[in-house]
């Protein structure tokens, strides 16, 4: 069997452009649900937002490094895990938090702040944690990733749609009220359809190599969810807020991860399979956890 890093995925430059556009549409569909009041939450009640961002950008990357150091996977798989952990929260985290009976408003605020913070924190965490582990440091040295270019991609895909969505919601609330439901359903349907088609085009590769990463991705996702819950518990947040932070930490924007992998790492097989499997698994685990959490009402 061909080595995982020697495989060439069927993912053309036009497919990458399409994925960029889809993620921007998904981000816009979330942003039209936001208003300046959501950002004002940091001033009025800073603790839950700060705890959530620390869990997302500090605790999760550190736990990921510990996992990589203990398990010593293939370097490309290790860097894939580090890169996914460096991404901001995933687009479905707000929906899953709502289903779980958690603080959806906190989840939305965390998504907004994490998206802005990703301009700096995503390249920083990739460089820091990837550089601390010698096997992944070698890949980074060969790749010569440009933090400015990563920031530009994150800005165009996430920040610009965020700003446009918030502005439209503030200026034309009646229009966004009509657009909100249909656009969110349409954007998620397009995103899921794209992932399904991409998997179908690479099914033999995915089937052959998913086993190499499945256990690590499942363990990594469990660490992310558990880490978010522990951080929120230790900082004495309410169960209502704790659910939001747990889910926000465990749901990663693996779509952004795939874009960065194809843009900067030439679609390196191990990294790409990690991000693709993450994209599937975190939705399964997040929805399952939401079902369990929703059985009891969270104290506020």
266: left (phi over 0), alpha (psi -120 to 50) or beta: left
pLDDT at residue 158, rounded to an integer? 75
Do the domain assignments include residue 8?
no
Query: Could you tell me which residues come within 8 angstroms of residue 252 by beta carbon, excluding any fewer than 6 positions away?
Result: 84, 85, 87, 88, 89, 90, 224, 278, 282
Does residue 7 fall inside a structural domain? no
pLDDT value at residue 205: 66
Burial track 109-125 (b if 16+ CB lie within 10 A, e otherwise): bbbbbbbbbbbebbbbb
**For residue 300, is it within any domain?**
no
On the CB side of 61, CA atoms within 13 Å amount to 26
Q: What tens digit of pLDDT does each residue of 262-272 get?
A: 878 877 878 88
pLDDT of residue 226: 97
Report yes or no on 269 lying in a domain. Answer: yes
Q: How far apart are CA 27 and CA 7, in angstroms?
A: 31
Tell me the C-alpha distance between 26 and 10, whole Å. 23
Number of domains in the chain: 1
**Within 72-202, where are the H helices?**
75-86, 93-100, 104-132, 134-143, 147-154, 160-171, 173-201
Residue 202 has what DSSP assignment? T
Task: For 217-236, write each residue's pLDDT tens digit.
Answer: 999 999 999 999 999 999 99
The pLDDT, as a whole number, for residue 202 is 65
> What are the Cα distances from residue 53, in Å, to 14, 45, 89, 95, 117?
33, 14, 10, 18, 9
Within a domain: residue 192?
A: yes
Residue 49 lies in a domain: yes
- Smallest CA-to-CA distance from 239 within 158, 154, 296, 172 is with 296
Confirm whether 298 is domain-assigned.
Answer: no
3-state secondary structure of 73: coil
Residue 79, domain member (yes or no): yes
Question: What's 109's domain CATH number?
Answer: 1.20.1530.20
pLDDT of residue 180: 77
Q: What range defines the domain where residue 43 resides? A: 13-293
In which residue ranges of the chain is pLDDT below 70?
1-16, 38-39, 41-42, 191, 194-195, 197-199, 201-210
């Amino acid at each position: 069997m061909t080595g995982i890093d020697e495989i060439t995925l069927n993912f053309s430059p036009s497919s990458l452009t399409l994925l960029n556009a889809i993620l921007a549409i998904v981000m816009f569909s979330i942003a039209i649900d936001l208003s300046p009041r959501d950002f004002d939450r940091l001033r009025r009640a800073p603790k839950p937002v700060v705890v959530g961002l620390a869990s997302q950008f500090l605790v999760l990357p550190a736990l990921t490094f510990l996992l990589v150091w203990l398990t010593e996977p293939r370097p490309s798989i290790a860097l894939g895990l580090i890169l996914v952990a460096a991404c901001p929260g995933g687009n479905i985290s707000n929906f899953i938090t709502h289903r779980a009976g958690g603080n959806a408003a906190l989840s939305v605020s965390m998504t907004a702040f994490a998206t802005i913070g990703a301009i700096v924190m995503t390249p920083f965490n990739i460089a820091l944690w990837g550089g601390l582990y010698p096997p992944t440091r070698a890949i980074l040295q060969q790749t010569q990733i440009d933090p400015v270019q990563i920031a530009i991609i994150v800005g165009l895909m996430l920040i610009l749609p965020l700003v446009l969505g918030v502005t439209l919601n503030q200026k034309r609330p009646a229009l966004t009220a009509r657009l909100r439901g249909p656009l969110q359903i349409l954007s998620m349907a397009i995103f899921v359809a794209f992932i399904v088609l991409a998997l179908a085009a690479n099914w033999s590769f995915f089937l052959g190599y998913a086993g190499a990463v499945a256990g690590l991705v499942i363990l990594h996702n469990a660490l992310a969810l558990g880490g978010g819950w522990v951080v929120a518990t230790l900082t004495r947040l309410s169960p209502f807020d704790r659910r939001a932070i747990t889910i926000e930490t465990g749901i990663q924007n693996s779509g952004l991860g795939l874009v960065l992998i194809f843009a900067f790492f030439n679609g390196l097989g191990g990294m790409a399979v990690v991000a693709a499997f993450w994209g599937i698994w975190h939705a399964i685990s997040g929805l399952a956890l939401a079902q369990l959490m929703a059985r009891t009402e969270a104290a506020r």
